[in-house]
Structure 1
Amino acid sequence: MSYLETAAEFYSEVAQTPQVGLCCVQSSPLQLPGLKISPQMQEMNYGCGTTVHAAELANDPTVLYVGVGGGLEALQFAYFSRRPGGVIAVDPVAAMREAATRNLAIAAQENSWFDPSFVEIREGDAFFLPVPDASVDVVAQNCLFNIFEPADLHRALQEAFRVLKPGGRLLMSDPIATRPIPPHLRQDERLRAMCLSGALTYEQYTQHLIDAGFGQIEIRARRPYRLLDCASYGLQEPLLLESLDSVSFKVAIPEDGACIFTGKTAIYTGTEEFFDDSNGHILPRGLPAAVCDKTAGKLGALMPKDILITDSTWYYTGGGCC
């Protein structure tokens, strides 16, 4: 049995018998005015963060959600795209599709604004998304892509890139590892399916996005997720997993490399009213300007005594400069 078959079998089990404690099912989902989440749907909230970012969902987008789970985030996306087929939810596991269909029917009874036609559930997987090229505004996945081996992760990211319109956005939430996960854990298919052993480091994870063609990556959140202890996982020292929420844009990669925003700012501290690097960056004296990590490095090297570069906050919501 391949690791993907193990994952499919595992999620067929938890679709029929929800497991409290798997991923972050005990966390509270995103609260939105007029949105009610049933206990059945909350029990199947198999994710490590959130992919629903209101700022990315203006103008009635078409959303493709990969790995429907219990339907919670599909419902949240439908809150912003209130039309038939506004959300397309794809899952290869029949039991999960059936559970999501039941949960969305309950949601229609509890939310007067929601109609089940707003979410179209389709059979499919991350490697063969059942939509045409450049046909959706948003692709989203929560705690799924970390299950994949690196080669399969690249395939999934390329497929997401294919179906996105130019300028479209890939919204992801996945565990990352604070150091490489040892081989004996990476080879444990059950732990991989449980989102505990397939995580990449932050550097590896973002490089995969760049390799797939995404020219801009924005980190929405980075926070502790799980601690793998020594006794349970055969480690010499505990290994911290973190949850990373990101938005990646289908835009061209600049000649000097992709732009990754992690919340860094550049502050001009010199004697002039402003600093102009003649490359599109104007820094008024004393005012923080959000910049991508690449630009932060360039500005810090250019004027190390007159430009202060602040640390990454790991929380960025736009407005910066490449």
Structure 2
Amino acid sequence: MDQDYLETTKDVYREAAENPQEGLCCTTTPVWQLPGLQVPAKMMTMNYGCGSTIHLRDLVNDPKILYVGVGGGMELLQFSYFSRQAAGVTGVDIVDEMLQVCKENLAEAERQNPWFSSDFISLVKGDALQLPVEDDSMDIAAQNCLFNIFKQDDLKKAIQEMYRVLKPHGRLVLSDPVCEQQMPENLKEDKRLRALCLSGSLPLNEYIKMITNAGFGTVEIRARRAYRILDPLNYDTTERLFIESVEVCAIKDPMPADGPCVFTGKTAIYHGDQQYFDDGLGHVLMHNQPLAVCDKTAANLAGLNRPDIFISNSTWFYDGGGCC
């Protein structure tokens, strides 16, 4: 298998560690402003991601957290805010220079934040395709704008590795670019563009399929936002390519017999002449009260052809409270 592209990726992020590049990525999510949290300026400059993997409803009961691809350490610091314990957060990266700069940034964060200790975070050299982490040991595993770099076979391995290290019902939180148009082969094979998290962008449904194929029984699409344009003027393409960033949570739930529950922001509303509607499958719609439903349940309800049940389109923003 040709893995030369991974060496190019290491070179790109080695340079990004030694010479921080504010414009390397374009984060679509505002940085969390948390009480008592100060993010050092260099750490902020090195926020090399396309979204956020910090979601407050995941971060309860002092979770053990794995973060792959440490960048400047900002999300490691944010995660440690919710897991203030020795080695509560493990950061894994393959690039020595990035690990060193991250360590320096965390030392500065310790000077600026009285509550924070560098002992909260364990930095480990390792490969996303063979994580140096025990099976079933993490409550949360996260990556931001890393998996988009991998070609399909390597992406499959990376997702399987995250599944392996998560505890039952643990959460894989991802932020990656996606593209619904067909990415030209010449751009896919451009090693630098792939390293910059652009030309490896998959359609969202393909991305979700790779996650569910690894065994994740529940998937939440938490955000979907405009990200970048690859245009004929600046890139070797004959059409304008629109890239979005998505934030996804995949939960290590058992796989339902009828397939995974994927939440894309659909809602069902019953507005008939009864107090509620029960579909007999565990879903109760109270009168005129919206219920977030997974795509599978939405399709089943739509198949009933009832004029008193309304199903919304996907909003691509889901924040819990759903049917499953």
Q: TM-score range by the shorter chain?
A: over 0.9
Q: Which residue of 2 aligns with 1:163?
A: 165
- Post-superposition shift, 1:25? 6.0
For residues 264-305 of structure 1, what are the alpha-carbon distances to aligned partners after superposition, in whole Å with 9 as ceiling and x for unaligned?
Answer: 111112222211111111112211111101100110111342
Question: More displaced, 203-212 or 224-233?
Answer: 224-233
**1:230 match:** 232
Partner secondary structure for residue 218 of structure 1: strand
2:78 to 61, 76, 79: 76
Superposed CA offset, 1:210-237 (max 9, x none)? 1111000011110001011121123232
Paired residue total: 322
Equivalent in the alignment of 1:296 = 298
The secondary structure found in structure 1 opposite 2:143 is: strand
Match of residue 258 from structure 1: 260
Matching residue's letter, 1:90: V
- 2:128 maps to 1:146: no
Query: Per-residue displacement from partner, 1:133-153 (whole Å, max 9, x unpaired)?
Result: 101111000000000001100
Partner of 1:233, secondary structure, is coil
In the alignment, what sits opposite 2:280?
278
CA distance in 1, matches of 2:239, 2:129: 35
Match of 2:62 among 37, 50, 60: 60
Alpha-carbon distance in structure 2 between the residues aligned to 1:50 and 1:262: 18
Residue of structure 2 aligned with 1:44, choices 43, 46, 60:
46
Deviations 1:196-218 (A, max 9, x none): 10111101100000111100001
Is residue 224–residue 316 contact of structure 2 (8 Å, CA) maintained in 1?
A: yes
Check the 8 A contact 1:20/1:26 in 2, yes or no: no
Output the CA distance in 1 between the equivalents of 2:318 and 2:132: 32
Deviations 1:157-215 (A, max 9, x none): 00000000001000100000121211010000000001110111101100000111100
Matches for 1:98-177 after TM superposition, within 5 Å: 98-177=100-179
Judged with a 3 Å threshold, the aligned counterparts in structure 2 of structure 1 residues 101 and 76 are, in CA distance, closer, same or farther, namely same
CA–CA distance in 2 between the matches of 1:110 and 1:180?
Answer: 46
1:40 and 1:11 map into 2 onto residues whose CA distance is 15
Select the residue among 247, 259, 284 that pairs with 2:249.
247
**Is the 8 Å Cα contact of residues 27 and 51 (structure 2) preserved in structure 1?**
no
Given that 1:146 and 1:195 are in contact with CA atoms closer than 8 Å, whether structure 2 keeps it comes out as: yes
Deviation at 1:26, TM superposition (A): 9.3
Q: Is the CA contact (8 Å cut-off) linking 1:51 and 1:140 kept in structure 2? A: yes
Normalised to the residue count of structure 2, the TM-score between the two structures is 0.97
**Separation in structure 2 between the aligned mates of residue 143 and residue 180 of structure 1, nearest angstrom:** 20
Structure 2 residue runs without a partner (length 5+): none
Given that residues 269 and 289 in structure 2 are in contact (C-alpha distance below 8 angstroms), is that contact kept between their aligned partners in structure 1?
Answer: yes
| Residue 179 of structure 1 pairs with residue 189 of structure 2 | no
Matches of 2:165 and 2:236, distance apart in 1? 41
Paired AA for residue 231 in structure 1: L
Name the counterpart of 1:5.
7
1:154 is displaced (CA, Å) by: 0.4
Residue 259 of structure 1 contacts residue 294 of structure 1 at CA under 8 Å; is this kept in 2? yes
Q: Secondary structure at the match of 1:196?
A: coil
Q: Superposition pairs for residues 14-29 of structure 1, below 5 Å? A: 14-24=16-26, 28-29=30-31
Show the counterpart of 1:269.
Answer: 271
Contact 1:220 1:245 in 2 (8 A): yes
Gaps of 5+ in 1: none
The correspondence for 2:33, drawn from 31, 34, 42, is 31
Per-residue CA deviation, residues 43-70 of structure 1 (Å, 9 max, x unaligned), is 1100000001011010000000001110
Distance 2:180 2:33 in 1: 30
More deviation, 152-161/261-270: 261-270
Q: Check whether the contact 1:229–1:235 (CA below 8 A) recurs between aligned residues.
A: yes
Give the structure 2 partner of residue 91 of structure 1. Answer: 93
One-letter amino acid of the counterpart of residue 67, structure 2 = Y
CA distance in 1 between counterparts of 2:108 and 2:160 reads 35
Name the counterpart of 1:196: 198
AA matched with 2:79:
F
2:178·2:202 contact (CA, 8 Å) conserved in 1? Answer: yes
Paired residues of 1:168 and 1:249 also in contact (CA < 8 A): yes
Quick check: 1:210 aligned with 2:218?
Answer: no
Checking the alignment, whether the CA contact within 8 Å between 1:25 and 1:42 is kept in structure 2 is no
Q: Secondary structure at the match of 1:230?
A: coil
